[in-house]
Structure formats: structure tokens, C-alpha cells
A and B are shown apart, each in its own frame.
Chain A
């Protein structure tokens, strides 16, 4: 007679199991590799009809685990069987590989056997084992299941092959069995069936079958295998259980493999029936039989499996994909000539990590695809006592956009008109050096501080090094977003040079902080203003980067037709590249402005830049300490004097007669 071939369990892991394991490892287990109890579940086996071939394809004999496996309170899904398992997570791949699998397996098997002998119940027959190693950084999970099953020596054989249950039981009887199963509060994994189709749990064997002749006793189980010729794995342990507890009456067993979760149409019952026999004397002791059950891997060998969840769980990849997708869609569908690589390769430095423009610029830059170093600088406001906003801002940006390379650096930016006490000079020199290095390493610098004079130092350094400098400043309901022009020595002789933040001031940046009222200092603004300014600044950069002339892109002509902003009219593929945008929220108006460079500007004129390049920190120290230094250097002081003299020369007319001399 052919040997009964049982369909082994195939593990079916839900992604939620791995998510829960990650949480548990971090919160609960940490480094512990103690065994913890979990649950799994199975239900009747399913087969599907392949529409193409018309054949019935039997799927696996599945045992499923998910996040609910870790939940002791989880409720069983109606119609499925819950099984108990032991879970052990190792902390390193070496420990996982070196784990003593034989001992673990034998311990589990002994547990099951002892339970059968001691309690005579079937609750442990489906116990399973799973060992895992979770590489949380790479979202890879190594695992190996074992479904222990006692080996029968000699093996069980089947007379006459498996056949449809409807050949042994009439439709009415089968319906009766189905209804009884369904009416029970918890589905029975194993049950007994009498001639009249009444059922009972296997534990009631003696009483239930007291007056039933062996030829009418049927053992049944919920069968997770859909294969017509192979009963599912749970039957193995059920037979072992019956053999040891009822040795005299189990050399031949009538088996009903129950596979009908619903009453089928047209009596096409899936359940199977067969008579299995074992040709050995009844066992006369409680000795534990040997067992098998490590799950083979997809290649059919005894080895662990690997679940790679990086595509789904790695937020970096998810976020990258999302931005990537948006950008690619932009490029493919709307602007084929958009140079995406230019944007993503641009390194941006954000100076000024306030809640408003600093954070928002960072977020917008990521939307544009800038992935590289965005260290955040902070201007230490001495009145606030200096909070480390930069590190927090970097961490916050990373939360919004995990893919960003952002780090926060707290530094104070020295300012003209704010003298440096002698004890601080050395530190200030280091800070300035650091700032110079940072500006050097980046392509674009955003000036987002909340005071005028703090922008001076980066303006000078940025201009000297030929970097793109984007400036954003907020008032209560007005904003300014502008790009600094290139330095004079970089512009061909007759080229028009665009100005910087200071070009339009006749006044050198000095101490604007003292003697201001609280609202002037704290830059109270209308809430919508900061996002508008930040977005405008980032889009200005985007348009600038797409312009073939980059930093040297000309500003749009003042009376340019607003509809014509194509590349031919001096714009970029994204449109015009304005020099300055002044926004007036009260009128909901944005005004593009062009400011010419001033050749005595304290921020970007060649006089200042060359002096900086020559004298470096010494020159800067003078500017910080002496409010008169910059005007003197640029010749602005002479201009004031001329202006003062001109004013004095004017004859002011008195209203009534009588002139005073």
C-alpha cells in the first residue's frame, strides 16, 4: 500500500509581523534572545482555478503569522485555527547561524510529547518554532520555521487512495457536520465523527465512541492542505496522539480531511476521506518518537529564508521614490528639458534656522530634489540667550524628509557694529573660518537670518567666492526675496551687474538691534508670509539653476511682456529669473524689481572684496569693531560728508520774516 504523504506546512508571513517584530525588538526585547510565545493560524486549504488552463491549482498548506501573533489578547478569526508557537530572535547573524537548532527542536518536540502524555489533550499538537535575526538597518529579516511532526515507524499507509468525502458520507451528513462545526464558538482543529454525523472533540474519544464499532468511527481534522492526494501536516501529530493514547484501536484509522468552509454548490465537496493503516504492534511504552519538521527554503534545501522589506519599510527609499516620482513626472510630462541632475547636485547652505524661513526653505528644497548637505547655521541672538535651534531644525528636517543630508551647526555670525570683546576674538576667528569653509563647500547660500547686519559677513564671503546667494527677509506683511549679483571682477566689462542686499543702502549695516522695540526685534510676521517667502526663494533658486548663465543670469527687462517668459527672452526653462521680488501681502502683490549694483557697496563692491581677500580676518575684525571702518573703506564717509555739506548750503526759507544768521 502506498505510504501516506503529508503536505508539510508552508509558512506565510504577513509584512505586519516584521513591523511588529521591529517594534518589539526596540521596545521590549532589546538584546534579549529569550523565547517568547506567539501564535499562528491556518484554515482550510484553498485551490484556485487557473483561468487560462482551466486547471485546479492547489496552493500551499499555509500557516500564517502576522502582527496579531505577538498579541496575547488577539481574537481568533472565525473559521481559522490558532496554533501556539515559540519565537526566538537572535541579535547577530552569527548567533542566528550558530544557534543550536537540534536542541531547540528537541526541546519543542519533548514539550509536545510530554503534554500529550500528561494532559491527554490536543492543544499542543500544532506547536511550531521560529527563529529569527532582524537586520533593522537594512530591513532584512532572516527566519526559519519548524513544524515538529512525529515520525511513525513504520510509516502510515493508505488503502485505496484518498477519495471525495461525498463517497463515504451523504450530502445530508456532510451538511450536518458543517453546521455543527460552524455553530461552535471556537473552531475545532480535530474532531470525532460518528455514523450519524454528530461530532465531538477528540479528547472525548472514550466516551463518544463507547458504543460505536471501530468501522463507524471517523477521525477528522480541519485540513489546510488543498491537494487531493495529500492530507495536511496536522494529521501526522493527530495520528501519533491517537496511537499512543488508544493503542488498541488505532492500527487502522478512518480519516476525514475537512476542507469545506462553506457548503459548496452542487455538492462539489472538497473534503477527502481515506483509511490509513500502520503495520506495527501497538506501542507499549511512552517513549518519544523521533520528529521532523524544519521548513525547507524555496530552493528545497534545509536552510533559513530571508525577507527583504527595504522597498517597503525604508522611509528613505519611500521618500526618495515619492520625490523622484514627482520630479520625473514633471520632467516627462511637462518640461522635458528640465535638468533634474543640476538641482539634485546643488548643495545648499541655509543660514538662519528660525522656525519660519529656515525650516520652510529646507522643506521646499527637498521638494525640488536637493539631496545634499544642508547644514543649518544659527545666529545666536544674544538677547535670547542662544538656543541650539540648528540641531533641532536639522533633526526636524530629517523627520520630514529622511533622505536629506542635514546637520545642524550652532555658530554665531559676527556682525559689523557689534564689537568683539578681546576674550572672544580667538573663538570668533574660528567661527569665521568655519563659515568660510562651509560656504566654500556649497553651491548656494540662503540668508535667512532675522537681522540686517548678520547678513553682511556671508554676503562678502559668498560674493568673493562666486557663490549663489539668495536672500529672504520678512517684515510684518511684506517680504523681500532676492539673489545677489556676481562680483564685478567676474562680470565682463560692459556687463550690467546686479546688486546685493546692501547695494541700495547708502547706509552701511550697523547696529540695528538695540533701540528697537520688541516687535521690531522679534520679527512678528503674518503667518502666511514665511511660507510664501520661503517657497519663492527656493523657486528662485530653481529657475536660476536652470538658466544657462546661472549666477550671471540677467534680470528680466522691466517692461517685459508678462506672457513672454520663454528661454529666448532671457529666462530659463522654468521662466524668468528675477533679481528682487518684493511682496506686499496686504495687497496680495509681488513686484519684481531690478537693483543695480553699487560700486561702493559695503557688501559686494570690489573694494571690500579685495580687502577681504588680502587681509582676511583682520579686515573683518575691524568691520565688527568699528562702525566707521566700512564707510571709510568704501568711501561712503566721503559721500556723507559731501551730502552733509550740500544740506548745509541750502537756504531754508523761514515762514515769517526775520532771518537768523
Chain B
């Protein structure tokens, strides 16, 4: 678990200083007037995973010989991604929105088949128009909600299982830590916590920028 202050500090360590793709491209934003509502955000492009069974019958009449044929270029999907602090669960939570090149938000059935998620991320789950639930679980895996600071409609991955997953990995990481007692040990610990959180996130979400 992290306190709000720890979350803020951890996030700021990865802004502008991130070798790994999952941590690239994030910027920190504060609420315009209230303190303590800051979050990470970035914009990423994805596309729909090609459905191999579909045969593209489109015949593009190319009047202009100098124009390249772009029928095989996948439509760019724009995803706004956020890492937000959940005061209830005291962990970071992944919020996102994703829309197509026309500015229309994708429906759930569509977005789980984009490159934003790994193909196996939602095995053994049930889909509705507003959420994905794991069978036998009381909390939804993916639901709709409002961004806590911006108030805009977003999807988010429910943070209830985060704590547990991270604790296991954190214990291993700490056991391997050979430099305890450094001056900035606290910052290192927080950064590692967040890196592990991104790793856990990466098991379902494609976190490349």
C-alpha cells in the first residue's frame, strides 16, 4: 500500500527518467486548484488486432497513380492513459479511454481486441456492455467510471487484487536488494514499488508507449 504522498513521489520519479517502455512518455498533472489529486497521464496509439478470418474485399479505385494504397494500414486508435491514486484501496489504478480516428469512443467488445490488451488478458471472464467480470469474483475486472480528478468517462482496471500481487513480487525484490541504507533508499523503494506495479499491469495491458 502507498500513502497519497508516497504515490505522488513514486510517480514523479518515473517522469522523464525511464529506460523501460512501460514507463516512457508519462507526465504528471495536478488538479488546477486542489492539491492531492495529481495523476500520471500519456497518450498512446494502438490499433485493432487483425482478425485473420476476415477477408478484405475493399477495392480501392486508384485514380491517382501517385497516391499510395493504404487499405492495409490499420486505423489508428488513440488511447489516453492515466495512473490514478485510489484512496479506497491505497494503490495506483489504471484508467484509460480509447477512441478511434473519428473521435468516437470504442465499445468494450471492440477495445479488448485492440493491441492495448494482451490477447489472453480476458480469458475466463464475462462481458457486458459496461464491464468485464471474472466468474466467481464479486468485483469487476474492468469497469466504467469517472476519472477522479478530470471527471471524464474512463475505463479502469479494478485495483482490488493489486496489493496482493505486488506484495509477492516486492518481497522477492527486497530480498535481492544488496544496497540497503543508501541515502535515497526511500525514493528507490518507491520507484521500485511503482515499477513492480507497472509489471503487474503489464500482465494484462500492453504498456508500450
Report which A residues bind B (CB closer than 8 A). Answer: 3-8, 10-15, 17-18, 46, 48-52, 57-62, 141, 151-152, 155-156, 227, 229-230, 236, 292, 296, 298-301, 305-309, 311-312, 318, 321, 324-325, 333
Give me 13 other A-B pairs in contact (C-beta within 8 A), A5-B69, A14-B103, A307-B104 excluded: A5-B65, A5-B66, A12-B101, A13-B103, A52-B49, A59-B47, A59-B74, A60-B75, A227-B68, A301-B61, A308-B104, A309-B103, A311-B107
Q: A8-B70, A298-B75 are in contact. Are A46 and B45 (CB under 8 A)?
A: yes
B15 to chain A, nearest CB (A): 16
Q: A14-B99, A48-B45 are in contact. Are A321 and B144 (CB under 8 A)?
A: yes
Per the bound structure, the CA–CA distance linking A318 and B144 in Å amounts to 10
Per the bound structure, the CA–CA distance linking A157 and B8 in Å amounts to 55
Per the bound structure, the CA–CA distance linking A50 and B206 in Å amounts to 10
Which residues of B, 56-98, contact A by the 8 Å Cβ criterion?
58-61, 63-71, 73-76, 78
- Which of A4, A12, A296, A321 has its CB near the most chain B CB atoms (within 10 A)? A12
Assess the A311–B67 pair: CB atoms within 8 A.
no
Assess the B73–A321 pair: CB atoms within 8 A.
no
B73 — which chain A residues lie within 8 A by C-beta?
10, 58-60, 227
Residue tally, chain B, CB below 8 Å to A: 39
Assess the A6–B67 pair: CB atoms within 8 A.
yes
Q: Is B36 an interface position by the 8 A CB rule?
A: no
Assess the B65–A57 pair: CB atoms within 8 A.
no
Q: A50-B115, A296-B60 are in contact. Are A60 and B101 (CB under 8 A)?
A: yes
Smallest CB-CB separation from A265: which chain B residue? B19
B138 — which chain A residues lie within 8 A by C-beta?
333
B76 — which chain A residues lie within 8 A by C-beta?
10, 12, 59-60, 62
Q: A14-B99, A48-B115, A59-B76 are in contact. Are A300 and B153 (CB under 8 A)?
A: no
A324 — which chain B residues lie within 8 A by C-beta?
130
Q: A10-B73, A325-B130 are in contact. Are A15 and B103 (CB under 8 A)?
A: yes
Smallest CB-CB separation from B56: which chain A residue? A300
Chain B contact residues, majority secondary structure: loop
Assess the A325–B58 pair: CB atoms within 8 A.
no
- Against A, the Cβ 8 Å flags (1 = close, 0 = not) of B97-129 are 001011111010000000100110000000000
A59 — which chain B residues lie within 8 A by C-beta?
45, 47, 73-74, 76
B116 to chain A, nearest CB (A): 11
23 contacts between A and B (CB under 8 A): A3-B65, A5-B65, A7-B70, A12-B78, A12-B101, A13-B101, A13-B102, A48-B45, A50-B115, A51-B206, A52-B49, A59-B45, A60-B74, A60-B101, A62-B101, A236-B66, A300-B59, A300-B61, A300-B71, A309-B105, A311-B105, A311-B107, A321-B144
B59 — which chain A residues lie within 8 A by C-beta?
300
Per the bound structure, the CA–CA distance linking A52 and B73 in Å amounts to 17
B23 to chain A, nearest CB (A): 15
Q: A10-B73, A60-B75, A307-B102 are in contact. Are A300 and B66 (CB under 8 A)?
A: no
A224 to chain B, nearest CB (A): 11
Per the bound structure, the CA–CA distance linking A11 and B208 in Å amounts to 23
Per the bound structure, the CA–CA distance linking A321 and B146 in Å amounts to 13
Q: A59-B47, A308-B104, A325-B130 are in contact. Are A52 and B119 (CB under 8 A)?
A: yes
A14 — which chain B residues lie within 8 A by C-beta?
78, 99, 103
Per the bound structure, the CA–CA distance linking A441 and B49 in Å amounts to 53
Per the bound structure, the CA–CA distance linking A333 and B143 in Å amounts to 15
Smallest CB-CB separation from A233: which chain B residue? B67
- Which of A7, A48, A62, A236 has its CB near the most chain B CB atoms (within 10 A)? A48
Per the bound structure, the CA–CA distance linking A7 and B76 in Å amounts to 15
Assess the A4–B104 pair: CB atoms within 8 A.
no
A4 — which chain B residues lie within 8 A by C-beta?
66
Assess the B65–A18 pair: CB atoms within 8 A.
no
Assess the A8–B103 pair: CB atoms within 8 A.
no
Per the bound structure, the CA–CA distance linking A59 and B100 in Å amounts to 13
Smallest CB-CB separation from A296: which chain B residue? B60
Assess the B102–A8 pair: CB atoms within 8 A.
no
Per the bound structure, the CA–CA distance linking A187 and B200 in Å amounts to 38
Assess the A318–B153 pair: CB atoms within 8 A.
yes
Assess the A57–B74 pair: CB atoms within 8 A.
yes
Assess the A312–B67 pair: CB atoms within 8 A.
no
A298 — which chain B residues lie within 8 A by C-beta?
75
Assess the B144–A305 pair: CB atoms within 8 A.
no
A18 — which chain B residues lie within 8 A by C-beta?
103
Assess the A3–B66 pair: CB atoms within 8 A.
yes
Smallest CB-CB separation from A12: which chain B residue? B101
Per the bound structure, the CA–CA distance linking A324 and B131 in Å amounts to 12
Per the bound structure, the CA–CA distance linking A49 and B130 in Å amounts to 30
Per the bound structure, the CA–CA distance linking A33 and B59 in Å amounts to 35
B64 to chain A, nearest CB (A): 5
- Which of A3, A230, A300, A333 has its CB near the most chain B CB atoms (within 10 A)? A300
Per the bound structure, the CA–CA distance linking A298 and B60 in Å amounts to 10
A141 — which chain B residues lie within 8 A by C-beta?
103
A307 — which chain B residues lie within 8 A by C-beta?
102-104
A309 — which chain B residues lie within 8 A by C-beta?
103-105
Per the bound structure, the CA–CA distance linking A308 and B106 in Å amounts to 10
- Against A, the Cβ 8 Å flags (1 = close, 0 = not) of B18-60 are 0000000000000000000000000001110100000000111
Contact of B58 among A49, A58, A229, A300 (CB under 8 A): A300
B103 — which chain A residues lie within 8 A by C-beta?
13-15, 17-18, 141, 307, 309
Assess the A155–B66 pair: CB atoms within 8 A.
yes
Assess the B144–A325 pair: CB atoms within 8 A.
yes
Contact of A305 among B74, B102, B105 (CB under 8 A): B102
A7 — which chain B residues lie within 8 A by C-beta?
68, 70
